[in-house]
Amino acid sequence: MDKVYLTWWQVDRAIFALADELRKNFMPDVIVGVARGGLIPAVRLSHILGDVEVKVIDVKFYKGIDERMEKPVITIPLHGEFKGKKVVIVDDVSDTGKTLEVVIDEVKKAGASEVKVVCLSMKPWTKVVPDFYVFRTDKWVVFPWEEFPVVVRE
């Protein structure tokens, strides 16, 4: 699968753009970061929006690049008070959309009054199109906090 590499600068610009849209359209009470990929954007958004509370959920689904398990499994459940709150779920990519489906369900079950989804990037085939996103690509996205492959000359 082809890859596309994003820089810190591109990602930070994207997060500021997402923060602007949230400020105009949906100021959250709580941000839920989906571990691991959603954590850095979730924390950054929280600071930009003026210290919005951050909660975490961890969902395991991928074993490698484009290699999935049968279904997403929650490995760290949601904790905290969500009743009547406006919640923004933040992840890096919506690919199949299955991870977000599970997370949206959990946040609704926890009693959130309104739920929106923010992703840095989405794939054209996803079944969960985020309410706010910046990049759209069919390639594997490599984020600046991920490991870059090093080529060692023989």
Summarize as ranges the residues that interact with ligand 5GP (CB under 6 A).
Answer: 34, 37, 61-62, 72, 91-100, 140-141, 143, 146
DSSP-assigned beta bridge partners for residue 115: 87
Site of tokens 């850095």: 40
- The answer to whether 43 and 92 have CB atoms below 8 angstroms apart is no
CB nearer to ligand 5GP: give 28 or 97.
Answer: 97
Cα distances (angstroms) measured from residue 54 to each of 26, 34, 78: 16, 10, 11
Instruction: Compute the least distance from the CB of residue 100 to ligand 5GP, in Å.
Output: 6
Instruction: Compute the least distance from the CB of residue 11 to ligand 5GP, in Å.
Output: 11
The conformation of residue 147, written as its DSSP 8-state character, comes to P
CB nearer to ligand 5GP: give 95 or 106.
Answer: 95
CB nearer to ligand 5GP: give 28 or 37.
Answer: 37
CB nearer to ligand 5GP: give 98 or 108.
Answer: 98
Instruction: Compute the least distance from the CB of residue 142 to ligand 5GP, in Å.
Output: 6
- Measured CA to CA, the distance from residue 85 to residue 150 in angstroms comes to 44
Instruction: Compute the least distance from the CB of residue 154 to ligand 5GP, in Å.
Output: 29
- Measured CA to CA, the distance from residue 98 to residue 59 in angstroms comes to 10
